Every structure is written in C-alpha cells, then in structure tokens.
C-alpha cells in the first residue's frame, strides 16, 4: 500500500478511526511483533530505525484498543500545565520543584514557563535516579539474602 502526499492528514483532528479501520488495526496489532519495518524507495529497500518501529508499535497498540492518540508538535516553551503533562507530575508539584531550582524555568510576567529541552533532560535524570535506586534496593536484598514477606 502506498500513500500519496496529498492523502496525508494536515492536522491530528483529520484522522478518525472507523470500525473497519479499527478491525484492521486490531488484526495488525495482534500479529505485529515489533520487528523491522521495511519501505521501498525508487532505487532500494530500506529499514526503519528501531526507535521509529517502537513508536509505530505503540501507536498501533493504542489505536487497536480504541484509545485516542495525538501526534503533533510540542512547543519549545511550555506553560506549567503543559510541562506537568510532559514530565508526569501534578502542576503544583512541578511549580514547587521549579521554585526549589530542581527544574529550570523562567518567568513571563507572573507566569512560569519551561523549555521542552529542560523537561526532557529532567525526565531523563529522574529515570536514571529511579533505575539506580531500584538497582541499589535489588543489590541490598540479594546481598542480605532478604526474603520479601507476603503479609
């Protein structure tokens, strides 16, 4: 199947999934094993990068479960509400962490704003910290021979 440039939706609102498309998505998602995705150019066949393959897989899975998916640009400068959504915190917690200097921010009048690059970096550091804490906890329990009690 090939898609012509004129058939590509200009806005996320332009794509609605009907019952037939949903059935196709469910079938594809149930058989798609997140292997390589290949595409053809005029002169050769190329492989899509693993990161894009993973993204396509996530979109397929969500759509096949009849969930809404929004794909669109994120502005470089975000409001506190938008920033909270990006990092997965409540807005009050985000603002408190920004006030404490944990998350870079700046003011526009009386409003706090956040740069997307700073938020992505903060999220990466938080993930690293969580992973390190989990590794430390696992190591402690292995060294001490601790048994987790089900009580």
Q: What is the pLDDT of residue 117?
A: 95
Q: What is the 3-state secondary structure (H, E, C) of the chain?
A: CCCCHHHCCCCHHHCCCCHHHHHHHHHHHHHCCCCCCEEECCCCEEECCHHHHHHHHHHHHHHHCCCCCCCCCCCCEEEHHHHHHHHCCCHHHHHHHHHCCCCCCEEECCEEEEEHHHHHHHHHHHHHHHHHHHHHHHHHHHHHCCCCCCC
Q: What is the pLDDT of residue 6?
A: 46
> What confidence tens digit (pLDDT) does each residue in 53-66 have?
888 888 888 888 88
Q: What is the pLDDT of residue 5?
A: 45
Look at 35 and 105; give whichever has higher pLDDT: 105
| Contacts of 116 by beta carbon, 8 Å cutoff, 6+ apart | 74, 75, 76, 77, 78, 86
- Is residue 4 predicted with pLDDT exceeding 60? no
CATH topology of domain 77-146: Multidrug-efflux Transporter Regulator; Chain: A; Domain 2 (1.10.1660)
> What confidence tens digit (pLDDT) does each residue in 88-142 have?
999 999 999 999 999 999 999 999 999 999 999 999 999 999 999 999 988 888 8
The pLDDT-based confidence of 2 (bands split at 50, 70, 90) is very low
- Is residue 8 predicted with pLDDT exceeding 60? no
122, with CB counted inside 10 A (0-12, 13-18, 19+), is: buried
């Amino acid at each position: 199947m090939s898609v012509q440039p004129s058939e590509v939706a200009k806005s996320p609102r332009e794509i609605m999934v009907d019952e037939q498309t949903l059935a196709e998505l469910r079938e594809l998602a149930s058989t798609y094993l997140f292997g390589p995705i290949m595409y053809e150019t005029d002169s050769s066949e190329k492989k899509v990068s693993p990161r894009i393959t993973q993204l396509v897989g996530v979109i397929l899975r969500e759509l096949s479960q009849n969930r809404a998916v929004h794909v669109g640009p994120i502005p470089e400068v975000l409001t506190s509400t938008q920033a909270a959504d990006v990092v997965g915190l409540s807005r009050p917690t985000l603002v408190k962490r920004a006030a404490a200097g944990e998350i870079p921010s700046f003011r526009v009048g009386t409003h706090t704003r956040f740069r997307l690059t700073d938020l992505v970096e903060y999220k990466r550091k938080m993930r690293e910290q969580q992973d390190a804490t989990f590794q430390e906890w696992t190591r402690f329990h292995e060294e001490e021979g601790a048994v987790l009690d089900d009580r």
